[in-house]
Amino acid sequence: MKIITIEEEAWQQLNSRINAIADYLKKQEDKSYDDLWLNNHEVCQYLHISEKTLWRMRTKGEIAYSKMYGQYFYTIGAIKDMLNAYAVQSSDEFVQELMAKGKSYIEKGRQLKTDKK
């Protein structure tokens, strides 16, 4: 085994570059679907509720939405926020399980772009 010595400043620069690469890779692995938009039908299927129930939630201000050309759209993040706000029992395991189910539902339902700009 060979021992290599370098100056402290060079080691710190190398270490910071390695940490920057590691952070970048972690961000690439963490695919967040919070900004993905769903329409009424998709949200109703995802939550197993009727469109009338979703309409009530919208009018009461329980869920954030956007309206464009007469159609309503919701983000996954808004759905998660609403579920967390009204959860009777919320644990990290419950939220992780819900996120996993949501991701699998989305991935089955539509093609997603894998690279973000």
The model's pLDDT over 5-42, given as tens digits with 9 standing for 90+, comes to 889 898 899 889 999 988 888 776 666 677 888 999 99
Q: What is the pLDDT of residue 59?
A: 94
Is 3 inside a domain boundary?
no
How many other CB atoms are there within 10 angstroms of residue 63's CB atom? 21
The model's pLDDT over 73-115, given as tens digits with 9 standing for 90+, comes to 999 889 988 888 877 655 677 777 777 777 777 777 665 555 4
Is 23 inside a domain boundary?
no
Q: What is the pLDDT of residue 115?
A: 47
Is 7 inside a domain boundary?
no
Is 8 inside a domain boundary?
no
The span from the CA of 24 to the CA of 34, in Å, is 19
The span from the CA of 56 to the CA of 40, in Å, is 12
Domain extent, residue 81, equals 33-109
Higher confidence at residue 58 or residue 24? 58
76 closest CA partner among 58, 53, 98, 54 = 98
Is 94 inside a domain boundary?
yes
- pLDDT tier for residue 71 given thresholds of 50, 70 and 90: very high
Bridge partners (DSSP) of residue 65 are none
Is 105 inside a domain boundary?
yes
Is 52 inside a domain boundary?
yes
Bridge partners (DSSP) of residue 38 are 74
How many structural domains are present in the chain? 1
The residue type found at 56 is R
Higher confidence at residue 64 or residue 115? 64
Is 48 inside a domain boundary?
yes
User: In this structure, is the dihedral angle defined by the CA atoms of residues 49, 52, 54 and 56, taken in order, positive or negative?
Assistant: negative
